[in-house]
Chains A and B, each alone.
Chain A
């Protein structure tokens, strides 16, 4: 290669840096079946654990008889709460400041709760052993309805907290109450509603769903008695947090715990938390002195680890007669299940729900959230969204449609009128956020033009008239959603997890030959970090992305970080990567100046080299400088070329987007067909457009699943009726719509490369877009709100309630 003859553009292209549709590095192993997932791990002498789980949603445990289980060939031990008490591990702290039973202590509080842990020589023997454990239960009254949780005669879920008037987040007003959290100005909002010309009020429930990654949660714990060290391989989206929490719980010094997240088969929030199975595997390894593997099956995954949503919101909007928004008020009851194991930044028990004013210029607003205990599984994770953002987006976007309907305005026109204007950024929202950047009107207009919005509305009108004349049984709905996300948690002044500030990190070492390695505190679960972080480095340092290895997930080698969720990898670790690069580049510049015998300031950067200003033939490439860093640094300078950066973001980032969908509904069968789905996303600077589009396709598909069919459903006795993939909806290639994607680019002003994060936007914007489309189809018949999920049965039922089947 002769660099001399290549133009700067050609040299930049060869780097495969920011903006390149670079093919993924990880794929080479995955397409050959050579990924390395937790269950692939096989260690000498490895044992298997299996959990005995409660068939009851609420019951007292009268007796646990393990004798038959211990007689099963291959079974070595059975752990119960009594065993765990001897090491003070019968209960564990949760990320939300509550405590959770590791194994049932006295009673069970939800169906499939962990009761005993059987350790055996292979997974079949462990399952046999679990089957043979005899548990005597005495059933108790069950409550699975969050709206009844604070009734005077509601069953007491948490006897351990019954008399405590203070919780982790302030005063409790009932024995099943966890917290009340508020944002905004309550009095000013009430005043605005009193003066309002037009108001709407709507109960909007977002059902309980589950992230359901294809790989379940699993781990292998291996305790070395000689060294007193624990190695824990697991499906952890946040390995460092697991190490710190593990050390605090087990009292094993943190430097003697090695947490390793190998390849992870999808996370979507499911793999943020710490689960009883992990603790049991660790204790079992300590007890037996052998490695212990624990792998959830699908039913265990769906019913016990990390549900999402279960937010029951009452939204009110006030506006003027001509459609100008004047106030927003939302009251929410949040069902957290039997333990508050919600994965939020610790000071935010309702997550970042105060993004609920969305993309609109509300002068005042107030939100209030009450968390409650029920006889349902614990969790409350952000299923492909930042903390509680999708709940907020669904609520405001549905409410906006309902207000538009009341005003007799088109939903897109109503939004356009109230969107925050470009010149208002940075924008201080009524609920306390400062939105970094946006150009909302441009995005919405581009979306409307791209789909031919006016034409779609004209077609819809024609169809509605034909329907009224009895010429068709098909309705057409057009769904509009405009969302603003809040991601990249976060500034340490606002966000921490159990006291650890939510910064993130990157450590880069450039080797003498000009290749290098970057290690980070985040952890890819399919986002392609090995590919994209290298692209940031390629552009920042002028070294080919192919020459940069990216490593995550090993707490011994990676710098400390809070992990991957809430679209924080690019906003936080991506920034750390760029900042570490800049430290390296500054040192390289000094070396170049020394070698070229000029002053630092006489040099300028040119794609992959420093050159002398006004004399471009005199230059040193980054590859040459890497070599020089190890043999001819200026006097007094340390050799080597590496840097670490811990990035504490000054603000969150606020990706946004405009989505429009078209749905056709058969009123006699309730079947829906997504005719079109157009998604315009603005995630700021685009690092790898191919990966961005892939993230959007995937997020939209999960939004489709949630809006059109997913629900973790409990019957009145607390039985989960959607416990396997037979009943829990995961779309196949057949029903998944085709996606049309588009973008605008409004860089974040405070991020070193202007990137905002994208993986979760499509879920946040997608869910209300589908829901608004289905609702829009029925709107002209007087319907205002049909609850999710919009499966065929519920859609048929909505048509039936409107008298369309008589």
Chain B
């Protein structure tokens, strides 16, 4: 099948590639770029396991063609930590607050929360719950995910976060 050339920036690196027009962004990221952090959970954009950050918005990469990302700036879970490997406050928070179990939703969940905290640096619990409503988790029951995001918000703001994981 004919291919189309696209240029984009992924996790700070310039990428030029030839893709089938029908190739989904998630398959391009996972199979061509070996960025296997974002996952496929439902194929219908309900579960959010495939969430990546695209031009400053959370998008579900299973419901977008790779060609639509031409010229875009994409961040995946692999690009969330600092270049020196220091974990992002969210990555730390998810571990400290036991915000994950099987880990399958985690990359999408953290990537979504990464954008949420830029949209709203001091979210209330209700705002966090609404803000991650597009990301499903089957293991945790969300309570500790909410705490993980609160932990990160506090850390980014430089204020103490006292609550322990339940």
Contact with A along B105-141 (1 / 0, CB 8 A): 1110010000000000000000011101111111111
CB distance from A615 to the nearest CB of B (A): 41
Given A266-B104, A698-B101, A738-B143; A730-B138 close (CB under 8 Å): yes
A264 CA to B138 CA in the complex, in Å? 13
Given A30-B100, A725-B47; A733-B133 close (CB under 8 Å): yes
B91 touches A691 (CB 8 A): no
Given A527-B101, A697-B143, A733-B132; A212-B138 close (CB under 8 Å): yes
- The winner among B39, B110, B142 for most chain A CB atoms within 10 A is B142
A726 touches B44 (CB 8 A): yes
A residues in contact with B135, CB < 8 Å: 732-733
* CB proximity to B under 8 Å, residues A30-68: 30-35, 37, 39-40, 42
B37 touches A701 (CB 8 A): no
A699 CA to B78 CA in the complex, in Å? 30
B133 touches A732 (CB 8 A): yes
B1 touches A73 (CB 8 A): yes
B46 within 8 Å of A by Cβ?
yes
Q: Which residue of B lies closest to A694 (CB)?
A: B98
* CB proximity to A under 8 Å, residues B53-90: 76-78, 80-81, 87, 90
A739 touches B141 (CB 8 A): yes
Per a CB cutoff under 8 Å, which of A297, A693, A734 touches B165?
Answer: A693
A contact face: mostly helix, strand, loop, or mixed: loop
A residues in contact with B44, CB < 8 Å: 298, 724-726
A787 within 8 Å of B by Cβ?
no
A736 touches B142 (CB 8 A): yes
A496 within 8 Å of B by Cβ?
no
B165 touches A733 (CB 8 A): no
B103 within 8 Å of A by Cβ?
yes
A268 CA to B101 CA in the complex, in Å? 12
Given A33-B77, A35-B104; A214-B95 close (CB under 8 Å): no
Per a CB cutoff under 8 Å, which of A27, A35, A216, A739 touches B143?
Answer: A739
A residues in contact with B137, CB < 8 Å: 214, 733
CB distance from B76 to the nearest CB of A (A): 7
B87 touches A697 (CB 8 A): no
CB distance from B3 to the nearest CB of A (A): 12
A166 within 8 Å of B by Cβ?
no
A214 touches B141 (CB 8 A): no
Contact with B along A117-141 (1 / 0, CB 8 A): 0000001100000000000000000
A525 touches B102 (CB 8 A): yes
B36 touches A724 (CB 8 A): no
Given A33-B36, A693-B166, A697-B144; A733-B128 close (CB under 8 Å): yes
B18 within 8 Å of A by Cβ?
no
A738 CA to B134 CA in the complex, in Å? 18
* CB proximity to B under 8 Å, residues A525-571: 525-528
A212 CA to B141 CA in the complex, in Å? 14
A residues in contact with B104, CB < 8 Å: 35, 37, 213-215, 265-266, 526
A734 touches B138 (CB 8 A): no
A741 within 8 Å of B by Cβ?
yes
A725 CA to B47 CA in the complex, in Å? 8
Per a CB cutoff under 8 Å, which of B42, B101, B138 touches A298?
Answer: B42
B residues in contact with A33, CB < 8 Å: 35-38, 76-78, 107
CB distance from B131 to the nearest CB of A (A): 8
B102 touches A700 (CB 8 A): no
Given A42-B31, A697-B166, A726-B46; A32-B132 close (CB under 8 Å): no
Contact with B along A257-296 (1 / 0, CB 8 A): 0000001111010000000000000000000000000000
Q: Which residue of A lies closest to B1 (CB)?
A: A73
A459 within 8 Å of B by Cβ?
no
B41 touches A697 (CB 8 A): no
A266 touches B138 (CB 8 A): yes
A151 within 8 Å of B by Cβ?
no
Q: How many residues of B contact A (CB 8 A)?
A: 64
B residues in contact with A40, CB < 8 Å: 30, 36
B22 touches A213 (CB 8 A): no
A733 touches B129 (CB 8 A): yes
A681 within 8 Å of B by Cβ?
no
Given A697-B166, A698-B138; A31-B34 close (CB under 8 Å): no
With contacts defined as CB atoms under 8 Å apart, how many contacts are there between chain A and chain B in the complex? 188
CB distance from A408 to the nearest CB of B (A): 36
B102 touches A213 (CB 8 A): yes
A592 CA to B100 CA in the complex, in Å? 42
Given A214-B136, A697-B141, A739-B141; A35-B103 close (CB under 8 Å): yes
- The winner among A212, A263, A690, A732 for most chain B CB atoms within 10 A is A732
CB distance from A703 to the nearest CB of B (A): 10
Given A693-B166, A697-B143; A268-B40 close (CB under 8 Å): no
B98 touches A215 (CB 8 A): no
A27 touches B20 (CB 8 A): no
B91 touches A31 (CB 8 A): yes
B residues in contact with A32, CB < 8 Å: 37, 77-78, 80-81, 87, 91
Q: Which residue of A lies closest to B41 (CB)?
A: A214
CB distance from A39 to the nearest CB of B (A): 7
A residues in contact with B129, CB < 8 Å: 732-734, 736
Per a CB cutoff under 8 Å, which of A124, A299, A702 touches B138?
Answer: A702
Given A32-B77, A33-B78; A694-B47 close (CB under 8 Å): no
CB distance from B73 to the nearest CB of A (A): 18
* CB proximity to A under 8 Å, residues B8-49: 20, 22-23, 27, 30-31, 34-44, 46-47, 49
A264 touches B43 (CB 8 A): no
CB distance from A251 to the nearest CB of B (A): 34
B151 within 8 Å of A by Cβ?
no
Stretch at the interface among A18-26, A442-450, A578-586: A18-26
Contact with B along A716-731 (1 / 0, CB 8 A): 0000000011100010
A28 within 8 Å of B by Cβ?
yes
Q: Which residue of A lies closest to B104 (CB)?
A: A265
B140 touches A698 (CB 8 A): yes
Given A73-B1, A298-B44; A700-B105 close (CB under 8 Å): no
B residues in contact with A525, CB < 8 Å: 102
B residues in contact with A265, CB < 8 Å: 39, 41, 102-104
Q: Which residue of A lies closest to B35 (CB)?
A: A33
A39 CA to B40 CA in the complex, in Å? 9
In addition to A34-B37, A694-B101, 7 A-B residue pairs with Cβ atoms within 8 Å of each other are A27-B95, A33-B107, A123-B27, A690-B98, A690-B166, A697-B144, A733-B146
Can you name 14 A-B pairs with beta carbons within 8 Å?
Answer: A26-B103, A29-B103, A30-B100, A32-B78, A32-B87, A33-B78, A39-B39, A39-B40, A213-B138, A214-B102, A214-B104, A298-B47, A528-B101, A733-B142
Closest 6 CB pairs of A and B: A33-B37, A265-B104, A526-B102, A30-B103, A697-B141, A33-B77
